[in-house]
């Protein structure tokens, strides 16, 4: 569960949600877990997504090889190197995101689909 800060995409309300899907244009589909409407909402690339909350949870799931609670777009297609698993959270957030993009480019995750 992630806390999404209040912003126009969330009707200026803080929301509790899980990341449901990611798209090639950088938008994210979230599924609300707070009982508020809409039950699913999109964040655009310039909206605020709590990567600092998401990445540690993602890392735990990767380490446990438990992929049922993570978006398909982050389910590894091959084993992520140990040095990445051990070091990614020690890097600044901007570098962590670049590491994710590099892993995707190297085929560690499925390709992102177009939104629509």
Dump pLDDT digits (tens) for 25-41: 999 999 999 999 999 99
The residue with tokens 């090639």 is 24
Burial category of 10 from C-beta neighbours within 10 Å (exposed 0-12, middle 13-18, buried 19 and up): buried
- Residues found in the chain: 116
Q: What is the pLDDT of residue 82?
A: 94
Q: What is the DSSP string of 61-93?
A: HHHHT--TTS-GGGS-SSPPPHHHHHHGGGS-H
Structure tokens at 72: 């398909």
Global model pTM greater than 0.75: yes
6 touches 16 (CB < 8 A): no
Q: Using one digit for the tens of pLDDT, what is the confidence trace for 47-105?
A: 999 999 999 999 999 999 999 989 999 999 999 999 999 999 999 999 999 999 999 99
């Amino acid at each position: 569960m992630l806390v999404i800060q209040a912003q126009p995409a969330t009707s200026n309300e803080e929301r509790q949600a899980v990341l449901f899907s990611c798209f090639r244009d950088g938008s994210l589909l979230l599924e609300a877990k707070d009982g508020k409407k809409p039950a699913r909402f999109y964040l655009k690339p310039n909206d605020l997504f709590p990567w600092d909350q998401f990445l540690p949870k993602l890392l735990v799931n990767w380490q446990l090889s438990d992929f049922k609670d993570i978006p398909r777009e982050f389910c590894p297609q091959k084993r992520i190197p140990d040095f990445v698993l051990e070091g990614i959270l020690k890097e600044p957030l901007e570098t962590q995101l670049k590491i994710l993009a590099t892993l995707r480019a190297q085929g560690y995750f499925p390709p992102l689909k177009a939104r629509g």
